[in-house]
Structure 1
Amino acid sequence: MELHDACLRGDATNMEMQLKNGVGVDETNSDGWTSLLVAAQHGHDVMVKFLLRYGANVDARTPNGSTPLKLATNGGYLAIVRLLLDAGANVEIEGYDGYTPLHLASKNGHTSVVKLLLDYKPLVDVPSRDGITALGFACVLGDLDSVAALLDSGATVNVVDNDGWSPLMAAALNGHQAVVRLLLTWGADINAKGPRQATALRIAAEKGHLEIVQDLLDDGAWMDEPSDDGTTPLYIAAKQGYGEIVQLLINRGADSNRQSQTGCTPLIMAAMYNHVEPLRILLDNGADVDLEDIGGWTVLSMAYFSGYPELVHLILERRPASMIDPAAVSQIRVQCRNKQRFLQHTTR
C-alpha cells in the first residue's frame, strides 16, 4: 500500500497527504502490518508521530505478535519508544514469543531504553519462556548500567531461569567482573548451585576468569564445594590448564587432594591434559602423587600412558627416590622416549 511505502521511505509529506485524504491509518499491508508497525520497525520517529496524531492503534500487532513498542525497543529507537509510551502503549505486553519490551531492551543492550521503560513501572521480574528475566539478560550481556537500574527498580537478585542459572552465575560465566561485584553488593547468593550443581566460583574457574574467582573468594565463596560429579573449582582449573587460578585456590587453602566421584584428583587431571604449569604448582604444594582413581591410575601412570615425557620427568623429580622402583622408572623413561620419537616421526 502507498501509505506503508511512504512510512518505509520516511516520506512524511506523502504520508500526511494520504491520511488527510481518508486512507485508514490502521489498514494493513499484504504482510499484515499497519503503517505504525512499519514506521516503528524502521526507526522513523517523524512517521510515528504523524500516525499517532491520526489515531493509529498504539498496540497493533504483527502476525507474529509484535507491537510497535516491541519493535522500537528491539531496535533501540529511544525517541519512538518515548512517543509510544506517552501515547499509552502497554509497557508490559508480551509478544507471541514471550518477550516483553523490557526483555528485548535488556537482551540487546539498549540501556537508555531500559531506563525509560523502568520509568513507566513495568513488572521487572516477568520471566521469558526460558525463565530469564530482564536482569538475567542484562547480566549475560554485561550491561552494568542496565543491571544497576533493574536492581534499583526492584529486580530479584537471586531469581533463576528454567535451567537453574542465576544472574550471578550468568555474569561469572561471561566474565563480567563489574556486574559480579554489583550483584554481590545486592546480596546475590554466592554459593547457590545451578546446572550440574555448579557454583559461580566453579563456573568462573572453568572459564578462566581469574579476577572474578578472586572476587568470589574474597566474598566468601566455598572453594571446595563439589558439583554433581564431585569435582571442585581447583579440579576444573587444573583440568582446563589455568595455572594462576590453581595457584590462587591453593593459596586460599583449597584441598589439592580432593577426589571426584571417579577418584580423579586435580593432579591426575593436569597430567591427563598435559598442563605443565598447573601440575608443577600442585606438586610444589604437596599434592599426593600416590592417589589413584577408580581405575587404578596415578598421576605418574597417567602422564606415562598419555605420552607426556615432560610431565613424567617433572613428577619423578619431585618423588622421593627411595620410594620409586628403579626398574620401573627406567622402563617408563625408555617407553616415554620411544613414544615421543614415534609421535615426532609421524607428525613431520
Structure 2
Amino acid sequence: MRKNLMIMAVAALAFAGCKSGFKQADGGLLYSFRTDKTGATIKEGDFVSADLILKNEADSVMGSTYDMGRPAPLIYQKPQRKGDITSIFPLLSEGDSVTIKVNIDSMFTKGQPKPPGLKGKYLIYEVKVQKVIAKGGASDPVFQKHISDYFQAQKEAMLKKEPAAMNKYVADKNLKVTKTASGIMYQITKPGSGPNIQVGDTAVLNYTGRLLNGKVFDSSLPEETKKIKGYDPRRKPEPIKVKVGAGNVIKGWDEGLLLLNKGAKATFVIPSELGYGEQGIGNGVIPAYAPLTFDVEILNIIKTDPNAPKATQPMMMPQGR
C-alpha cells in the first residue's frame, strides 16, 4: 500500500512539473514562453509582425505562416472575446516566442458542433514576434514610414535569397541550364522537332510544378497528382491547352514555352517575379516570392488560324499555373 502511494505521489509530481511550464491567462488560455527577450511589450495600436504555427495535440501542423513565406502583420487591438490568442500579446516583446494552448470547447458556442476531424482538448499555437513598431496612428507619417520601410526591407531580403536558392537547386539536380535575359533557367531534356511555338499558338502539354523543396503543387500527370496535398480526386488529370502569349498563365510560361517545339521536354526554373510574386497562391500552396520549377512536355502545337474571330474576353488562368 505504501509503495503504491509513493508511486502515485511521484506521478502527481511529474504531472505537476509538466503543467508548471504553462501559466493561465484570461479566457482559459495556457501559455509558456520559449524565448523571453527584454524590451517594451506590445501595446494597443502597435504594429506587430509575427510568425504562427497552428498544431493539434498530435503535433500535426494545421497551418503555418512559414509555409506562406512571410510573417503575419497586424495593428494590435484589444481582443473582443475572451480566449483570443492575441490577449497574450501585451505580455510579449519583439523577439519573444511563446506556446499558447486554446481549449477547443471554448471556441464554440453551446450546441455548436466542432468541425469534423478536430480532435483533442487543445489547439496549440507557436508564436514568434518578429517585429514591433510602436504605435503612432493612421495620420502619423513617421509610424507609417517605419511600417513601409519594414515591408520594403522584408521584400528585398526575400528577393535577395532567390538567386542563391535557384542556383543551389540547379546544382543539386545537376541541371545544365541556359539563362534568359529575364532570369528563367531552362534545360531542354529532350529535343523536339519542327518550328518553335510562336505567340498566339496553342500548346498542348503535360506539366508538373514544384517548389524548390521538391513539393508538388500542381500537375497534369496522374502519378504526380497523388503527391499533392488536398488534391480533389474528382479533378481528372490530363494534358492542358495554353494559348501562348495571351497572358492566361504566368509570365514564365508565356516566355519559356516559346523556347520549345513539338515533342520537346524541358525543365524551367522560374524566378518569383515571373511566377506568383508577392502574393503567392492560397494558404501557403505557393509562398510569397517563391521561385518555381516546372517539367513540361509539348505534345502538340495548334497554329493560330488567321481567319478566326478575336476573343472578346480573356480565358481564365488554369488552376495552379
Shorter-chain TM-score category? Answer: under 0.3
Q: TM-score, normalised by structure 1?
A: 0.24
Compare the two structures and name the one with the higher strand fraction: 2
More contact order relative to length (CA 8 Å, sep ≥ 6): 2
